[in-house]
Amino acid sequence: MKFVHIADMHFDSPFVNLSDKDIMGDLRRLEQRKIFKKIIEYIKDNNVKYFFISGDLYEHQYVKQSTIEYINNLFKEISDTKIFISPGNHDPFIKKSYYNKYNWNENVKIFNSKIEKIETEEADIYGFGFNDFYCTNCGIEDFKLENKNKKNILVIHGTIDGASIEEKQYNSMSKKMLQEKGFDYIALGHIHKLDYNTELNQRIVYPGSTMSLGFDELGEHGMVVGEIQEKKIELQFIPLDEEKFKEINLDISEINSKEELIEKINSLKINNNEYIKIILKGNRNFEINTYEILKFIFNDRVIKIKDFTKLSYDLEKIKNQNTLKGLFALEMMNKLNYKNITEEEKEIIEKAIEIGFEALD
């Protein structure tokens, strides 16, 4: 049996932390549609009969009905393919969810909060779905396969071996326990990083997020395509996201002005399929306003600038000067050395030092 396995599409995500440019959220939402259509085309072209979606297909809080209709219309194009959806923590099966109130195409099966089995000619497909934004126990530990002579698949959203309190709120399951259940394949979702190894004949698989949601998800993103024959399984990861997120570290210790920094960033060689975050490091010699600098970067692929630089001023030395600047440095050092200072307060004080020194020079 052939199948496609995806998870964590997050349709209509607001992408609020992705970029300092407003248009980027709209661009990525358009790219979500483009990628999903590519998946459907692959299923049609390769006569794939099973499509597993392991949660977080959309963002419950933000998804529009027009997006749901777009998804369902694509499902209609693969009417001979059986589609199994396991709602996750971002798209739980709750009263007002589109899983509950929308009339999905007849080839779509949406699982709910009780583990359920769907019998097909080739396999028994089991699934579980979140019915809230949190899940601490899906009941899989007490579950037993009904027919081990058939191929058995589990479609589920959750965390493997979650140790922290937060991880345990998202359906934490023991990997050892899942291995002992005897499934031929477990289609997981929730972790946005690809996790599978064909050499180890791995059957418990995270495909990762279908497309990158930002700079915390570097590398390739796409879908897992599989085929199960008897007790043998063949898996292949197929990249789908044509855009790459890349971070560039830029030491500005030898840069002495905003204009020089802008020229430096504009001179960087950037590929047309890369979204770039510039990370400023080193000692800064001038006040930095990343939002202002970004306005003058002509390459639209640079979408975010983060400032991790440190003050280049020697406050210890300046505070000993018998000048107004020395008195100012002493006062600022006392504020910086306050034991309960927060990182946000420290950043504000450092900015005040820069502005103050520029005014006193």
Q: Mean pLDDT highest for which of 49-63, 188-202, 316-330?
A: 49-63
Do 212 and 324 lie in a common domain?
A: no
Do 141 and 180 lie in a common domain?
A: yes
Do 216 and 264 lie in a common domain?
A: no
Q: pLDDT band at 117, cuts 50/70/90?
A: very high
Do 221 and 74 lie in a common domain?
A: yes
Do 66 and 163 lie in a common domain?
A: yes
Q: Residues 243-266: what's their mean pLDDT?
A: 96
Strand 2-6: give its sheet, edge to edge: 108-110, 82-85, 50-53, 2-6, 222-229, 232-239
In 23-154, alpha helices (H): 23-45, 65-77, 98-101
Q: Residue 173 is part of a domain; what is its CATH number?
A: 3.60.21.10
Q: Provide the number of structural domains found in the chain.
A: 2
User: Exposure string (b/e) for 270-290, b if CB count within 10 Å is 16 or more?
Assistant: eeeeebbbbbbebebbeebee
Do 13 and 124 lie in a common domain?
A: yes
What's residue 145's pLDDT? 95
CA atoms within 13 A on the CB side of 133: 6
Express each pLDDT in 267-280 by its tens digit: 999 999 999 999 99
Share the mean pLDDT of the chain: 93
What's residue 32's pLDDT? 97
Checking if the pLDDT of 9 tops 70, the result is yes
Of the three residues 209, 239, 269, the one that is the final residue of a domain is 239
Do 27 and 71 lie in a common domain?
A: yes
Tokens of 317: 């030395």
Of the three residues 239, 263, 290, the one that is the final residue of a domain is 239
The CA distance from 285 to 320, in Å, is: 21
Do 77 and 101 lie in a common domain?
A: yes
Q: Residues 140-149: what's their mean pLDDT?
A: 93
Do 101 and 11 lie in a common domain?
A: yes
Domain hosting residue 126, numbered range: 2-239
Number of Cβ within a 10 Å radius of residue 161? 12
What's residue 205's pLDDT? 97
Checking if the pLDDT of 352 tops 90, the result is no
Do 109 and 187 lie in a common domain?
A: yes
- Per DSSP bridges, beta strands 2-6 and 50-53 are parallel
Q: Mean pLDDT highest for which of 100-109, 304-313, 323-332?
A: 100-109
Of the three residues 239, 269, 295, the one that is the final residue of a domain is 239
What's residue 198's pLDDT? 66
Do 18 and 108 lie in a common domain?
A: yes
Do 9 and 137 lie in a common domain?
A: yes
